[in-house]
Structures are given as structure tokens and as C-alpha cells.
Chains A and B, each alone.
Chain A
């Protein structure tokens, strides 16, 4: 029996805009067990960051998310009081943002910021919080941790700042970490180091992690489970191995063909593309949103879209094989 930590059913996020309602996220379902890493992958405007903010209760006053169920370890997040949410945030679930420079307050030392969450949530003496901060800084690979506590964010490099952010997120020993593009602003070598560190820590401490990214490489290397998001819907979900080796949804397949694979894609050859652009989600949205860019689109795509299950993998498409057989015929022809 898996140890379920998070269950989300039919999450809807509508944003009021000038000319109507932007249906940014429309009825997504997912769940997460302790010790698991879920990657939500999607392009800009797919609603992946909104989803994470909804989980943390950080969407702001204007936007009210709805869901039939959104439970974190038995607590219904949507009906929870502000006080309950505050006691969850930073303590049992914490978030790592993309830009470490703007998420650290330049006016306070690293030490103050690290200890803040712990002093706020746990009734512990300062010395204990300090000891914990030093321990975590060492854990995230920062040398001379003791002396770093007195430094200010601007004195650290981008990679170091992101490590501090991770340490900060871990201070209260959270059960869930949500990382929104945690390495996008970093150089490749640093990115690999930070991701490795995150994954190791998650495994070691038995936490669960939701990693939000647009980088399929990151997803493949980090995820246990993958959720592919397009224009506010989860078009395909499943274990990482299945998603990458046997992608079913036309969008997932299209995305994977867009990136050159060193050693596999012929150098200088034409890369796959997904023509067209993401449709506007203002106003009534029905049927499959990918139909405007899909090569297999038919009249049926405007109606209700069935969900197909293939073992642990699930995808939404009118074609029960996601157009795979059609594609094979075209290749042969």
C-alpha cells in the first residue's frame, strides 16, 4: 500500500481577464506518494506554475481555484483556514522558485533567512535553529557553512544562492517540496549539480517532490512520474520510462521529436516541429485543445475526449492509440 501524500481531483483555475474568463487550468487530476518525484512538464502558458501556486495557496485573492478534492495528508487544502495554510506552508510543504536572486531578501543575512521559517513554525531556541541551518548548508554542499550565515545574498553566486534556497526549503523538514523551474536560470554544470543534490535529498529524507519544468531532459533524469501539460490540461500521465519510451499522446510525441538528441539525431537534419501556436483559453473551451496543432485532428476532436489507460499510463485522445498506427502508415508510405 503506497503512502499517499497528495491527491488532486478535477482542479480548475479560472482567471478573470478584461474580456471574459481565462480557463487557465481545466480539470486536472494527479496524486503523489511519499518518496516520489512527479514532474509536471509543459510549455509556457500551459498552467503548470499556476497549479503549483494553487497547491501552496499562493494564487492571490483574485483567483479562486476549484477542485472536487485537493488533499494534503488528509487536510483539504481548498477549505483550509488561512491559519492552517500558514502552518503548512514553509513547514510541511515548501517551495523553491526559479530565480534565487529575487526570492532571497537582500536586506537580511543568509542565516536570518534560513532560521526564520523554523523560528516561526517550531518553538525552538535560536541556537537549535542555527545548528540546523549549518547542518543543512553543509548538506547542500556549501563549504564554510558557519561563516556563510553572516553573509548577504549578493555575496553569493547564482548556484550558491539556489543551494541556500534549497536549504531554506528543507529547514522544517517538509514532506512535500514544490520546485518551479529550480535550475532554469543556472548554467548546465551547476544545473546538474543542483538537480542531483535535490534528488538525493528527496530520497534520503523520504520527501515527495513536484518538479515543474519545460526541459524534457530534466524530466527524464529526475522523474518517477510524469504529467504532460498542454494549455491547461494533463494530456498524458505515467511513469517516466513509459512516457519517454512509448509516448502515446500526439503532443508528447511531437515534443520529443523537437529536441535534438546528441548521438541519435542526424547532425543538421530537420528537427520535428509542432506547427501553430497555443490557442487562446479565454471564453468557452471544449473538446481537445491540441486539435489546432495536431496532424490527426478530425471533427470528433471537438466533442468529449475519452481517457485511455495503458497499464500505468493514461492519455486523452479521440484515437485509442493516439494516432500511432496512422503515423506508422504515413512513415511506410
Chain B
């Protein structure tokens, strides 16, 4: 068998690493690529808002009110026109991305922390802990998010901080439900028993053995809840109980534009479209991540 190296059947079977497989799946998934690109672009816009915005988003100019966007016969001075106070619409839109993404991200992180801790503990420890967490989840699910948020904002007054905290404290239910279920599954794997019989401590098992195997699900829920939070912010701002003027927020822009909707529909259409694109992008990314992270659950 001197020619062992040249026999094609003998080529050693070493499969790709999990990392390589993941990369292959990511670049083979169109939804994920499109969604990811949209989200990445909007994140860049938000980060570099001061460089990209042609005007100060707060600068009012009564001389230049309600200028139409270029595609409706406006000038390049204000590519997307100006609003009823003469503020540059494009600049407000760009700064609005900051508000939306900020709220989405921070609310998802807060609720993710609360929900993950609850879900993982319930799933891993079971018994009484599980009973308590399940009860809390049910209580939370019985509360209508929008009404509670409205009530809180009405009492405390609307601001970015209040909005983010309220949404963060309300949207943890899906994290808890999903992570509880996946933790229960992973808990039964023999590698967890192996780690226990090695003498590994409970925090070590939770963080080093269980968490890496459920982090896929966590990421998916983060994206879904981000989209959820962004939409809720827009809705609350539209109702006038969210972010307060003059802060540029897409929901607020829709709200401010609604009085003139019949004559200047673009005032509503433009922020509405951007909002739609962002949420769609996040959802595409979330679905994509779910497919990529757990290909065995698909077929």
C-alpha cells in the first residue's frame, strides 16, 4: 500500500469545521444576505449621521417650509424636502435612524437579559423555579403591551429613557419562553452530565456548556424583539406618547405629517417606507439566522 496517498478513496475524511459550515450557510442564504445588508447600511447611517446629514435636523427655517422632495420637483438643496417647520427631511430621517435603532437595540438587550436569565434558570433547574417563571410569563402575556406602555408614559412623561425602559421591561416574554424550551432540551444531553460528573460548578455548566448551544435561538429572538420594539416606539410616538418633539423619530415624523397627508402624502410615505424597510430587513435577518443556525430544524 505504498501508493496510499494517491488513492482517491483514501483521502482522509475530515469534514469542515462548524465555523466553515456556518460561513457556507450564511453566504448561501439570500434572505439573510439581503436583510443583513439593509440592517448594516442603516446602522452605518445611524453611526455616521453627523457626517451624512446635509443639514442640522433641528434647524428651522420658516422661509423654506414644506419644500417637496427632488422627485416631486424639489431642489437638491433639500433632497427629500422639508417639513412644516422647514427642517430638512433627509437630515431628520438620518438622525431618526439613531433613535429607532437605539430603542430597538437597548430594549432588546434589557429584555434579553431579563428573559434569558429567567428562561435559562427555569429550563435548567425545573421544579419550583420553573413554576414561578412560568407563572410570571403567563402574567406578562396577559398584559397588553401597548396599553401598559401608554399608561406608564402618560404618568412618567415621554422621553427616550422612559420609552426604552418600558419596552425593555415588557418585551422579555418571548426570550423566556424560547430559552426555557431550548435549555430543557440541551440539559438532557450527555455532555452536560459529563461536565457534572467532572465536578463542574453550576455557573460553569450554564455558561460554558449550555449557553453556547442555545445562543443561536437567543440571537434569533433578539432580532425579532428589536423589530417589535422599533414598531412599538413608532406607534407610541405617533400617538404622541413616545419620543417627544423636536427629537427626530420616524414615528413622530409620520405623526407630524399626518395633518397634511392629503396634500403632501410624501411627508408620511417617506418615514413610513424607511420604517417598513428596516423592520423587514431585521425580520429577514432573523429568519435567515434561524435557518442558518439550526439547519436540522428546517426540512
A and B touch in their complex, CB below 8 angstroms = yes
Interface residues, chain A, CB within 8 Å of chain B? 18, 277, 279-280, 283-285, 287, 289, 291-292, 297, 299, 302
21 A-B pairs whose Cβ atoms sit less than 8 Å apart in the complex: A18-B24, A277-B13, A279-B9, A279-B10, A279-B13, A280-B9, A280-B11, A280-B13, A283-B8, A284-B8, A285-B9, A287-B9, A289-B9, A291-B7, A291-B9, A292-B7, A292-B9, A292-B10, A297-B1, A299-B3, A302-B7
Report the minimum CB–CB distance from B15 to chain A (whole Å): 10
Interface residues, chain B, CB within 8 Å of chain A? 1, 3, 7-11, 13, 24
Residues of A within 8 A of B10 (CB): 279, 292
A70→B109 CA distance, assembly (Å): 60
Greatest chain B CB density within 10 A among A277, A279, A284, A287 is at A279
Report the minimum CB–CB distance from B16 to chain A (whole Å): 10
Report the minimum CB–CB distance from B12 to chain A (whole Å): 9
Report the minimum CB–CB distance from A131 to chain B (whole Å): 41
With contacts A279-B9, A280-B9, A280-B11 known, what are 13 further pairs, Cβ within 8 A?
Answer: A18-B24, A280-B13, A283-B8, A285-B9, A287-B9, A291-B7, A291-B9, A292-B7, A292-B9, A292-B10, A297-B1, A299-B3, A302-B7
A196→B11 CA distance, assembly (Å): 44
Which single residue of chain A is at the shortest CB-CB distance from B4?
A: A292
A88→B252 CA distance, assembly (Å): 67
A297→B2 CA distance, assembly (Å): 11
Which single residue of chain A is at the shortest CB-CB distance from B2?
A: A299
A289→B7 CA distance, assembly (Å): 11
The 7 closest A-B pairs by CB, nearest first: A279-B9, A292-B9, A292-B10, A280-B13, A297-B1, A277-B13, A289-B9
Residues of B within 8 A of A302 (CB): 7
A33→B3 CA distance, assembly (Å): 44
A302→B7 CA distance, assembly (Å): 8
Report the minimum CB–CB distance from A87 to chain B (whole Å): 29
Greatest chain A CB density within 10 A among B3, B9, B13, B24 is at B9
Greatest chain A CB density within 10 A among B3, B7, B11 is at B7
A291→B11 CA distance, assembly (Å): 13
Residues of B within 8 A of A283 (CB): 8
Residues of B within 8 A of A280 (CB): 9, 11, 13
Residues of B within 8 A of A285 (CB): 9
A18→B16 CA distance, assembly (Å): 12
Which single residue of chain A is at the shortest CB-CB distance from B6?
A: A302
Which single residue of chain B is at the shortest CB-CB distance from A282?
A: B13
Residues of A within 8 A of B11 (CB): 280
Residues of A within 8 A of B1 (CB): 297
Report the minimum CB–CB distance from B37 to chain A (whole Å): 24
A18→B28 CA distance, assembly (Å): 11
Which single residue of chain A is at the shortest CB-CB distance from B1?
A: A297
A287→B24 CA distance, assembly (Å): 32
A297→B24 CA distance, assembly (Å): 37
Residues of B within 8 A of A299 (CB): 3
A283→B9 CA distance, assembly (Å): 10
A292→B11 CA distance, assembly (Å): 10
Which single residue of chain A is at the shortest CB-CB distance from B9?
A: A279
A291→B8 CA distance, assembly (Å): 11
A280→B24 CA distance, assembly (Å): 20
Which single residue of chain B is at the shortest CB-CB distance from A290?
A: B9
Report the minimum CB–CB distance from A164 to chain B (whole Å): 27
A285→B24 CA distance, assembly (Å): 26
Which single residue of chain B is at the shortest CB-CB distance from A297?
A: B1
A279→B1 CA distance, assembly (Å): 16
A121→B137 CA distance, assembly (Å): 49
A332→B287 CA distance, assembly (Å): 66
Report the minimum CB–CB distance from B10 to chain A (whole Å): 5
Residues of B within 8 A of A291 (CB): 7, 9
Report the minimum CB–CB distance from B183 to chain A (whole Å): 24
Which single residue of chain B is at the shortest CB-CB distance from A18?
A: B24
A284→B8 CA distance, assembly (Å): 9
Residues of A within 8 A of B8 (CB): 283-284
Report the minimum CB–CB distance from A242 to chain B (whole Å): 29
A289→B9 CA distance, assembly (Å): 8
Which single residue of chain B is at the shortest CB-CB distance from A294?
A: B1
A288→B222 CA distance, assembly (Å): 52
A18→B15 CA distance, assembly (Å): 13
Residues of A within 8 A of B9 (CB): 279-280, 285, 287, 289, 291-292
Residues of B within 8 A of A292 (CB): 7, 9-10
